[in-house]
Structure 1
């Protein structure tokens, strides 16, 4: 058997607060540790604590001929998902796998602290894209929108290429 595994490289990271009185980003960056190891980190400062409810919209898009084609676009109740992810939609569980062990979003609501995603390596995306649910080579955008009381409070967009 010939095993071909792809490689993911981060190309950009954008964190946007749509309501700075509710949430703001202390930091949001990509960092190259060396030529082969890159990671992303972000810290969202929450100002209206505790957060007892949150909806999250996840979308995965692929660039195809200049247009972005939506592969997945799902909105979930974030508190219910973390409470019992074993019963959740398998696509959401897959998307959560990108950052699960690198964040402090690993318990049920309420959240009474800032949200941190620290040093998520591109190698996590390698595994997710090539071993768990294989994808075609190309340019992708992983979007998440964080919604409180029907208002989008923040967005995180991770741009990457899969070769």
Structure 2
């Protein structure tokens, strides 16, 4: 990491540490989720909703039924937006080759931390190519609950955020998932 990158990382860490000291910890919650299919012949949305799992516990659920196989390449574009009179880019905009990542996970890549947080809740755990119809090749995220500890590694100040996830398969944008969350918004 070069000098300017280290300075940026240090400044972000200081912002996070200050927000934790001021607010007394991190409290997160899902507020909304939307799924958009760009190519109806590629996939369909079976489920895209939040579900109350208990008092104050909200789980995200997504089920994308894949209609068009084989899938030879898959890219995931993951970006974070912060709400400030509209949503504006914030901190991350990463594109990861999921096929390569599944063969060679890299803990020094930011995508590693986001994928690791989803691992217990998602069925995406195999490499490419995906070339036969089976329910295991649908993309299923079940009861994903935000854990306040997730943001101890990836700092974020108090506010409302949108995670924008674009699924690019076989060279074309196929689906976009918009996940909205709050960090310490309701804390006094």
Q: So what's the TM-score if we normalise by structure 1? A: 0.88
Quote the residue 2:139 is aligned against.
115
Ranges in structure 2 where 5+ consecutive residues have no aligned partner: 1-19
Taking only aligned residues, the RMSD between alpha carbons, in angstroms, comes to 1.9
Q: How big is the shift at 1:75?
A: 1.1
> What is the CA distance between 1:77 and its match in structure 2?
1.2
1:98–1:128 CA contact under 8 A, matched in 2: yes
> Which one has the bigger helix percentage?
2
Aligned to 1:138: 159
Q: Which residue of 1 aligns with 2:68?
A: 48
Match of residue 149 from structure 2: 127
Instruction: Mark the structure with the bigger radius of gyration.
Output: 2
TM-score, normalised with respect to structure 2: 0.77
Task: Return 5+ residue gaps in structure 1 as ranges.
Answer: none
Q: Comparing both structures, which one devotes a greater share of its residues to strand?
A: 1
| SS, match of residue 49 in structure 2 | strand
How many residue pairs match? The answer is: 158
> Is the 2:79–2:164 contact (alpha carbons within 8 Å) kept by the matching residues of 1?
yes
Moved over 2 A (4+): 2-5, 64-67
